[in-house]
Structure 1
């Protein structure tokens, strides 16, 4: 049986700070000045590269399969608490405030700020420097604010994050049980 460990490595003298209560899948890469707070999770194939600026992933947030989080000089990444970054999304030098969902395949570029409680639709392209008001639905290429989120949509964002927190616990327990 091939037992892999996640690539968690130093770059430029900075080592990732991974809280004990965080989950990092065996095929993820966490490089450089990255901080993963308790209950956060980094899923299969995700890459977090912090060579020039820090990446901070807040408590209870999840970076799903095959996501890329990468910084640029002058553009760190700040992911708030209870945030879901959907499969194959790219976050490049941006800020995602608390309780957001970044849809599958979406791209958020340098200097963009996604306000708390917002949803960025799948495949959306949030341009450099865009400011999204809290509680917004954002969609399109380039992304535009479409409307405020409904209560049902806000609940869905919360449920997604809760689901991934529970799923991370189960995956971590399985890895510990089977020595993966």
Structure 2
């Protein structure tokens, strides 16, 4: 099966249908060159997937809401249904989510305004609550649940403290920055090709 480039504004991106599923990417989303978007992936309005990310939904689905960003070098995957687990582990990422560089997001749920730090890992059936932060380098193990507004850190990750209003405002500023910066990168990429 060969990669296809779905229209203008996506040069250098591998968009690959598999198992009769083709990625569904909103026209306003920025997908950087070097990315591979595979299978049952949905990406919402004004979201961004940065340079050299892989989103592979070959065995279940990946859903990314609006204004969320998956930063450079990150990997997003999912797991299929299995005996005793008829739902499998799709990867569901809400609106206004920040996923830091080189993160690994696997079969988990990140609620609206959740944050995943640089190099962090979130595993199957884990949940990152709204306005919660998984610290840089942390590993959220299978099935762990972070409640809203919590900071978890470590390997394995554990609860550290509740986030302040200032910390949450900082995360929201990060979302706004990436949404705006994605427009500039989209223009620059279009001009480069």
Which TM-score tier does this pair reach, normalised by the shorter chain?
A: over 0.9
Pairwise CA distance, 1:175: 2.2
Residue 94 of structure 2 corresponds to: 80
Q: Which has the larger displacement, 167-176 or 64-73?
A: 167-176
Partner SS state of residue 167, structure 2 = helix
Equivalent position of 1:169 in the other structure: 183
Q: Residue 69 in 1 paired to residue 76 in 2? A: yes
Match of 1:90 among 104, 109, 122: 104
Which deviations, in whole Å up to 9, do the C-alpha atoms of 1:44-80 show, x marking residues without a partner?
0100000111101110000000000011110000000
Shift, 1:179, TM fit: 5.2
Matched with 1:18 is 25
CA RMSD in angstroms, aligned pairs only: 1.1
| 1:147 maps to 2:161 | yes
Q: Secondary structure at the match of 2:143?
A: coil
What is the distance in 2 between the residues matched to 1:64 and 1:86?
5
Stretches of structure 2 lacking an aligned partner (at least 5 in a row): 1-9, 81-87
Query: 2-side partners of 1:160 and 1:120: how far apart?
Result: 15
The alignment covers a number of residue pairs equal to 177
C-alpha distance in structure 1 between counterparts of 2:40 and 2:149, whole Å = 30
* TM-score (structure 1 length as normaliser): 0.96
Partner SS, residue 172 of structure 2: helix
In 1, Cα distance between the equivalents of 2:94 and 2:161? 22
**What is the CA deviation profile of residues 131-174 of structure 1, one whole-angstrom value per residue up to 9, with x for unaligned ones?**
11011001011101111101111011111111110110111112
Distance 1:95 1:79 in 2: 6
Which stretches of structure 1, 4 residues or more, deviate above 3 A after TM superposition? none
